[in-house]
């Protein structure tokens, strides 16, 4: 992620190449100069127990790639497979646009941006599940 500028809040934590770094008492900016650095803001992180829906599972996989927790080749293959499966569900509207964006980022190996697009898809997925629950309850 060369050229990336991280703006950190006081006491905010970030994972860079497997090392957790905590900001001091003031806001600060970090310029990342190394290409292909693995960077993840811990406030953006998904806990493994939260990866319970199709979108959060794919988002969590992107997070594992960013954190360097999975082999990149295997991780990319699983990520593109997961995105392809989601394309069968989100076929139109804003959700489809976000998924196309996430796929383009994954294809370009821009995993943080892919994860951000997937995070924007999470509320749409939650609405779909809520609609399905409402319909199921109405049918009982």
Contact 58, 86 (CB under 8 A): yes
The predicted pLDDT at position 57 comes to: 96
Nearest to 84 by CA among 62, 63, 58: 58
19-77 pLDDT, tens digit per residue, is: 899 999 999 998 988 877 788 888 888 999 999 999 999 999 999 998 888 988 999 99
Q: Which helix (H) or strand (E) holds 124?
A: helix 111-139
- Identify the pLDDT of residue 140: 64
User: pLDDT tier at 2 (50, 70, 90 boundaries)?
Assistant: low
What predicted TM-score, i.e. pTM, was given to this entire model? 0.83
Alpha-carbon span 32 to 3, nearest angstrom: 6
75 in Cβ contact with 64 (< 8 Å): yes
- How far is the first Cα of the chain from the last one, in angstroms, to the nearest whole number? 51
> Which sequence spans correspond to the domains of the chain?
1-45, 47-140
Could you tell me what percent of the chain has a pLDDT over 70? 96
67-110: pLDDT as tens digits: 888 988 999 999 999 999 999 989 999 999 999 999 999 999 98
């Amino acid at each position: 992620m060369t050229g990336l500028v991280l703006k950190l809040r006081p006491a905010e934590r970030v994972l860079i190449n497997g090392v957790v770094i905590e900001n001091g008492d003031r806001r600060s900016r970090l310029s990342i100069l190394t290409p292909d650095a693995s960077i993840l803001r811990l406030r953006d992180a998904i806990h493994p127990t939260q990866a319970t829906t199709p979108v959060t599972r794919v988002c969590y996989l992107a997070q594992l790639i960013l954190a360097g927790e999975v082999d990149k080749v295997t991780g990319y293959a699983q990520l593109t497979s997961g995105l392809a499966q989601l394309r069968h569900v989100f076929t139109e509207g804003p959700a489809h646009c976000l998924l196309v964006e996430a796929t383009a980022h994954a294809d370009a190996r821009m995993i943080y941006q892919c994860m951000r697009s997937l995070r924007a898809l999470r509320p749409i997925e939650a609405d779909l599940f809520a609609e399905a629950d409402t319909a199921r309850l109405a049918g009982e």
